[in-house]
Amino acid sequence: MKKQIPNIVTCCNLICGCIAICAAFQHWFTAAFIFILAGAVFDFFDGLLARALGVSGRLGLELDSLADVVTFGVAPSAMLYMLFREVRYPGFVYNDFWFMVMPLLAFLIAAFSAYRLAKFNIDERQHTTFIGMPTPANAIFWAALISSSEEYLTSPMFNSLFLLAFELLFCWLLVCNVPMFSLKFANTSWADNKVKYIFILLCILILALFVVLGLTDSRWWMYVSRGIACCVGLYVVMGLITGAYRKVD
């Protein structure tokens, strides 16, 4: 029974992803975001439990990847699909063909996430760092952005082509050959972890700022969600900058 505990936690991640997909298709973006976050928590603890209990194995690794494809690939794609159905379309793509095709392109996120996870499983370089953007970070970014900024994303200041370009950028980030730092700590020394410490400190400051802003407004969760999206954006920028100084074989 002990060896099944991490797998049960992984299945909780999978169930959260399934619920997030259902919520997304019902246009309950906040609920979808919450369940993606819950899935990320389960995803964090299943590996810790497997190592703590000494039951790590190939089955757990494969199950974890399958759950991650659902929670961090299909779920944000479902949210993006619904957003593509609402976002404004410029005149030269304002026709039935693009109204049908453009939303389907949202599922490129799911495809690139699946490829990234398969690559991670066979890549021996990713024990202490990531090569490319991790799928939970990508999913949390999209879920936080869509759930908190739908009003802006569907306004005249934004359109479907901007959204598609943004999506393609993140698809590239998922599979790019750029090393990005992990938040795993082998030790607590400043010299070995200064980038991680700086990132965590900046995230605390960003979230504190958005929480304060949220306390002055009844839509406090919207501000918190935007703060989370900013933190993921910060991770991407810092990851790309620090990764530019490393060589990946």
pLDDT confidence tier of residue 40, bands split at 50, 70 and 90: very high
Please state which of the ranges 11-15, 121-125, 235-239 shows the lowest mean pLDDT: 121-125
Taking only the tens place, the pLDDT of each residue in 178-202 is 888 888 777 788 877 889 999 999 9
Residue 119, CA atoms < 13 Å, CB-side half-sphere = 18
Res 248: pLDDT: 45
Taking only the tens place, the pLDDT of each residue in 154-180 is 999 999 999 999 999 999 999 998 888
Q: Which H or E run includes 180?
A: strand 179-181
Query: What CATH number was assigned to the domain covering residues 2-176?
Result: 1.20.120.1760
Taking CA atoms, 140 is separated from 63, 77, 143, 201, in Å, by: 20, 12, 5, 19
19: pLDDT strictly greater than 90: yes
**Whole-angstrom Cα distance, residue 238 to residue 195?**
8
pLDDT confidence tier of residue 3, bands split at 50, 70 and 90: confident
pLDDT confidence tier of residue 249, bands split at 50, 70 and 90: very low
52: pLDDT strictly greater than 80: no
1: pLDDT strictly greater than 80: no
| More confident site: 126 or 145 | 145
Res 128: pLDDT: 63
45: pLDDT strictly greater than 80: yes
Q: Which H or E run includes 200?
A: helix 190-215
